[in-house]
């Protein structure tokens, strides 16, 4: 079996597990990306996310994560919802958090995929990653040609937009490698113009995370700086502004994952439910959600920062 045939089999198996697109890059040291990451860190654009500076060597060299790694398989999993029942609300949360926590859902599918690959190709050493380890997932997806990194610093795909999760398999199986595609942002600056906290650089492609609403509402554990008062546009967990305005997201299609459907309790939430939320309600409504990450105290902090004078 030649390398191209192996890669085609892998992609078909991945699609059976629900992944929308799959592409493969050679596992190797990322020289250009290492320089860019170092410069970004030196500008303190990671804010209080000190973990971003940890394990630098592993972030830019997959062979330090998996001995003998030969391939980095990048996969897309759609999460674009059918509807937003909170559209008329002032208080909003990012679409990726509507359903159950994606980490567990996708990691389980990756393990199943890896098991199937071993059934087809024999012994394979490898690891599965879903936004939970020192892996530059957008850069690997770009290298493999899943899309290009847009001016909002998210991976964009011509057929799917950007409302998808990224996942990776780093394996010691040699495969046929895909090629990067060109940038299709052109002269568009909608994401830059729409960001209320000016987190995206003037020319795009660089994000100051310390100004990003997603960072402020999730990653930041201390008080939200007063400079962002009246600039959050109602976002209490994450933010979709730079995706909502992106022209490529007109191609987004409804996901087919039952686990990502909003639960009945959350579906009925109005602004008053958010402002009056108790710890008990939080634990009930978000017990299987990524929103648990911010904890009740963090969510309440976000709500109060937006709604109180």
Whole-number Å distance between alpha carbons of 213 and 210? 8
Partner residues linked to 183 by β-bridges: none
Using the Cα atoms of residue 226, residue 230, residue 235 and residue 239 in order, give the sign of their dihedral: negative
Whole-number Å distance between alpha carbons of 100 and 169? 22
Question: In 3D, which of 210, 77, 78, 51 has the Cα closest to residue 135?
Answer: 51
User: What is the crossing angle of helices 102-121 and 3-16, to 10°?
Assistant: 140
Cα dist from 5 to 23, 62, 171, whole Å: 14, 24, 17
Whole-number Å distance between alpha carbons of 237 and 227? 18
260, 104 contact by CB (below 8 A): no
Whole-number Å distance between alpha carbons of 83 and 63? 41
Phi, psi of 33 (to 5 degrees): -65, -35
* C-beta atoms surrounding 52 within 10 Å: 18
Active site residues: 131
- Which value, in Å, is the radius of gyration of the alpha carbons in the chain? 20
SS3 291: helix
Whole-number Å distance between alpha carbons of 69 and 49? 28
- Which stretches of the chain are assigned E, i.e. beta strand? 21-26, 71-78, 92-93, 126-129, 148-149, 155-156, 164-171, 235-237
């Amino acid at each position: 079996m030649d390398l191209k045939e192996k890669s085609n089999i892998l992609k078909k198996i991945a699609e059976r597990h629900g992944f929308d697109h799959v592409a493969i890059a050679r596992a190797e040291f990322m020289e250009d990306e290492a320089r860019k990451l170092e410069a970004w860190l030196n500008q303190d654009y990671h804010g209080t996310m000190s973990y971003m500076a940890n394990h630098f060597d592993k972030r830019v060299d997959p062979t330090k994560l998996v001995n003998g790694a030969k391939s980095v398989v990048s996969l897309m999993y759609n999460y674009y919802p059918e509807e937003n029942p909170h559209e008329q609300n002032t208080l909003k949360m990012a679409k990726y958090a509507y359903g159950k926590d994606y980490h567990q859902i996708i990691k389980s599918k990756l393990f199943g995929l890896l098991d199937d690959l071993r059934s087809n190709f024999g012994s394979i050493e490898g690891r599965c990653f879903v936004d939970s380890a020192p892996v530059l997932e957008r850069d690997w997806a770009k290298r493999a040609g899943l899309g290009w990194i847009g001016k909002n610093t998210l991976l964009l795909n011509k057929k799917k937009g950007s409302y998808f999760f990224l996942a990776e398999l780093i394996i010691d199986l040699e495969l046929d490698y895909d090629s990067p595609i060109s940038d299709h942002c052109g002269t568009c600056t909608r994401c830059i113009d729409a960001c209320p906290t000016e987190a995206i650089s003037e020319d795009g492609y660089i994000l100051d995370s310390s100004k990003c609403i997603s960072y402020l509402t999730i990653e930041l554990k201390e008080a939200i700086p007063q400079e962002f008062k009246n600039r959050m546009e109602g976002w209490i967990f994450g933010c979709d502004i730079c995706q909502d305005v992106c022209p490529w997201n007109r191609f987004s299609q409804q996901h087919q994952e039952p686990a990502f459907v909003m639960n009945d309790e959350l579906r009925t939430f109005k602004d008053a439910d958010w402002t009056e939320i108790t710890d008990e309600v939080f634990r009930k409504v978000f017990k299987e959600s990524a929103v648990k990450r911010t904890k009740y105290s963090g969510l309440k902090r976000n709500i109060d920062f937006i709604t109180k004078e």
